[in-house]
Amino acid sequence: KARKRFGQNFLHDQGIIRQIIRSISPREDQHMVEIGPGLGALTEELLAEAKALDAIELDRDLIPILRTKFFNYEERFRIFETDALKFDFNELCTDGRPLRVVGNLPYNISTPLIFHLLSQSGLIQDMHFMLQKEVVDRLAAEPGTSDYGRLGIMTQYFCKVEPLFVVPPGAFNPAPKVDSAIVRLTPYKELPHPAISERMLQDVLRTAFSMRRKTLRNNLRTLLDADALTALEIDPGLRPERLTLAEFVRISDYLSSNTSEHHGTE
């Protein structure tokens, strides 16, 4: 029986499962990681293709089911009974191969989990996630739209974002209330905007978007004044959702080099 507490919606639509696996195209020489394997709907197909699969599952009642189901893959299948939110993905990097991360994610933790994975994106070749469609819209959002905000900007700082396809509620058991979608996130090998610290960008975004309908001048006044924004060629009268990633990076770079408060926070 699916447990709500763990955000369990198990995939049962074979057509959708095949479509997901085709998008991922796991290869024999690759190291796959599955977050939340559940009853193994995707696991089975991944194991058929990839050389090594590590699964991270928090619900301890599912572990014996997975072990029984996949007992004959023992050598290339490891199960970690733990919370993916707290997991150090370095632990998996024992073969020198970059990780290909996959997951039909529990929706209640998808945003913090994406932030957690972004902080370890250097280990990762790519990620394919099933998320609420609304979250995929936010990940891919462009400036000037209502979906555009902290989650999308942080993700786009680290990764190329490709929404792939929509998955209707009927593909799951139990059926969720909303549409889902598959997204591919590919971390950049070299960040397009490498100068700033991630922490500073996080601070700037949190502050800039604290009140979406207010201007930058207002939201950012604790960090820098309107004249400084103008000097950075950014109109202080704009709402935060109008700014590009490059402009947020410019503000963060300026603050990194000009404020002492933030020194030492990494």
The footprint of ligand SAM (CB under 6 A) covers 6-11, 35-39, 41-42, 56-59, 62, 83-85, 104, 106, 109
Q: At closest approach, how far in Å is the CB of 41 from ligand SAM?
A: 4
Min CB(259)–ligand SAM separation in Å: 35
In the bound complex, what is the minimum distance in angstroms from residue 37's beta carbon to ligand SAM?
5
Q: Which residue is nearest to ligand SAM (CB)?
A: 36
For residue 140, the minimal CB distance to ligand SAM (Å) is: 21
CB nearer to ligand SAM: pick between 57 and 137: 57
Min dist CB 227 to ligand SAM, Å, is: 45
Rounded CA separation 195/154 (Å)? 15
d(CA 63, CA 61): 6
SS (H, E, C) the chain: CCCHHHCCCEECCHHHHHHHHHHHCCCCCCEEEEECCCCCHHHHHHHHHCCEEEEEECCHHHHHHHHHHCHHHHHHEEEEECCCCCCCHHHHCCCCCCEEEEEECCHHHHHHHHHHHHCCHHHEEEEEEEEEHHHHHHHHCCCCCCCCCHHHHHHHHHEEEEEEEEECHHHEECCCCCCEEEEEEEECCCCCCCCCCHHHHHHHHHHHCCCCCCCHHHHCCCCCCHHHHHHCCCCCCCCHHHCCHHHHHHHHHHHHHHCCCCCCCC
CB of 220 to ligand SAM, least distance (A): 34
Which C-beta is closer to ligand SAM: that of 84 or that of 224?
84
Closest to ligand SAM by CB, 110 vs 121, is 110
Question: Whose Cβ is closer to ligand SAM: residue 9's or residue 30's?
Answer: 9
